[in-house]
Amino acid sequence: MPAWVRRWRREHARANVVVHMSSRGPFAMRFIRAASALTVACISVLAAARDPDVRLPDIGSSAASLATPQELREYGAGMLQEMRAYELVVDDPLLGDYINALGYRLVASSDHPDPGFYFFIVRDDQINAFAAPGGFVAANAGLITAMQTEDELAAVLAHEISHVEQQHILRAFEDQKKMSIPIMLGMLGVILASAHRNDDTAAAAMMTGTSLIQQRQINFTRGDEAEADRVGIQTLARAGFDPLAMAGAFQTLQKVMRVNGVDIPEFLLDHPLDTKRIADSKARAEQLGCPTPPTPLRSEERSSHGPLDLSLPVRRSPAEETSPPDQAAAIAASNATTVHVDPVGRGNALPRVTVSTCAPRGKPVQAYFELMRERTRVLIAKSPTAMRAYYADNLRDDPAFDTVANRYGYALALVKTREAAAAAAELKKLVARDPSSSALRLALANAEDQAGNKAEALDLYARLAAEFPGNRAIALAHSDALIARADANSARAALELLRPLVERHADDPELQRSFARANELAGDKVRAAEAYAEAAWLNGHAEDALNQLKALSKQSDLSYYQRSRIDARITELTPAVLALRKRSSPGETGSLSLSCCGAAR
């Protein structure tokens, strides 16, 4: 304890401040306990600020000075690893690529197009989304299944991106530190001044101070939410989404709230919602006008070089090159404007003319969103049997439910209930209706593989890999099918697919696990052990990862390059593991709280 705190205690002990309890009875005891607790709280806060052992950041005049971008990134990555340790993250490559592509489209159109964002899906059916320090943005699976359009989902992501870019988390922490200490000191002063009074001044001071802190937090939250709405709507419009989707997402959440009665969606608890907020979102969206997505290429401009186009861009005409950006945006906006005229008017009135400034983004985009929505619904289902019954019953009883997306969800549910042959038959019909859909063909290949039709499945995977080279979901599924054959030649073929992906997506635990198994079958035990340790680290089992690497480093047959690589990784992980040990409870010395979930394998 700092010397100045000890000196303060001695001086106040000599002061011998007496509180007369005889006339106040039990209230006096409650008052003394409350005053003592508040005094200790104030001393603790002030002592922590002066204690050299507590490394508090220098607030300064800006919230950005609280932490460096690297520190924020490390915090967010640690949070993600801990969530994976408790199996709270949906690590599906198809959904992961979808949510990140959607998120980065928004980030690229924001005021701060920082490439350091990472988007992921939380295994939770509550309707919620949140942003963490370091650019980590999470969307609950329940939020995705509740949204009706991709624009609504994009609106929520744009809102959370705005929280990160406007540094709301740091600003809230900065404001709390600035305001809480003065208010607490003021409360303490009133309590000490009223020690000899017989009224309720002290209790009133405590209630007032607590209310001031809470009201300050509420006001700060409301201001942050309003700012995130404004910035998010601008980002939506720039990215080519419907800016009215922000209000549409809020209305969707209100509908869920009304249907569920008092079961308010979690998103509304973290993000206060009222009719004024919806009205403000609509008004701002109408001011921005319609989105201006990139104009599609004309048929003669479309490339014929396959999925990987390395040709030079087509030169635009001189008029297009000299057109100012505002004029180009106006032309795009006018092209998106649609006019609808009723065939006949009512009575003697002229036919009604309706002008729509925001054109729909197209059926393929909405169709793919609906596929991903149903995939999310199936993957987070706690009971595969109940999910299969959900689709089967609705497909039988409701003709409007019979859509491609719901049929796709039904097929995925059949695979989960180990009815892969029936799933393959269902998916073949869907692929026949839309043979260009990579998601449907990938699901068919997986169903054929699960049904035991290995040759058909590998043929489907090979054709998908040729059409979509470098696609993570396809390459990972293809490699897993090859690894399942458990022979060295198939494992080497899987490694050819996985090596480029590991270089680009080194933070994918499922990819690292498949890479480890393929190396193990191919005979590279050292590389396999490294990949297993990396998967353990990414899944939140830092202690286990470090122990695996230390055991590996003791092998006598390591080459110079292998030993250097392993030692370098041990040096990287050791500080993080020591920090986690320090944060763990005293009763769990030498182990991490995450170890309750078992080691990753």
* Angle between helix 363-379 and helix 93-108 axes, rounded to 10 deg: 130
- Per-residue HEC secondary structure of 426-473 comes to HHHHHHHHCCCCHHHHHHHHHHHHHCCCHHHHHHHHHHHHHHCCCCHH
- Helix, strand, coil: what percent of the chain each, to 5? 65, 5, 30
| Contact call for residues 129 and 160 (beta carbons, < 8 A) | yes
| Contact call for residues 265 and 249 (beta carbons, < 8 A) | no
Annotated active-site residue in 229, 266, 419, 426:
229
Q: Which helix (H) or strand (E) covers residue 26, if one does?
A: helix 26-50
Q: Which helix (H) or strand (E) covers residue 137, if one does?
A: strand 136-140
* Among candidate residues 396, 397, 442, the one with its CA nearest the CA of residue 423: 442
Annotated active-site residue in 92, 151, 152, 160:
160
Catalytic residue at 151?
Answer: no
Q: Which DSSP category does 301 fall into?
A: G
DSSP bridge pairs for 132 = 136
Q: Are strands 136-140 and 118-122 parallel, antiparallel or unpaired?
A: parallel
User: SS3 for 379?
Assistant: helix
How far lies 244's CA from each of 209, 251, 488, in Å?
Answer: 40, 11, 55
Q: Which residue has the tokens 């001086």?
A: 11
- Per-residue HEC secondary structure of 66-130 comes to HCCHHHHHHHHHHHHHHHHHCCCECCCHHHHHHHHHHHHHHHHCCCCCCCCCEEEEECCCCCCEE
Q: Are strands 136-140 and 129-132 parallel, antiparallel or unpaired?
A: antiparallel
| Contact call for residues 538 and 512 (beta carbons, < 8 A) | yes
Catalytic residue at 229?
Answer: yes
Q: Which helix (H) or strand (E) covers residue 188, if one does?
A: helix 168-193
Q: Which residue has the tokens 């869907």?
A: 430
| Contact call for residues 362 and 295 (beta carbons, < 8 A) | no
- Return the exposure string of 396-421: e unless at least 16 CB atoms fall within 10 Å of the residue's CB, then b: eeeeeeeebbbbbbbbbbbbbeebbe
Q: Residues 171, 172, 178, CA angle at the centre, nearest 5°?
A: 90
User: SS3 for 175?
Assistant: helix
Cα separation, 198 vs 24, in Å, equals: 7
Q: What residues act catalytically?
A: 160, 229
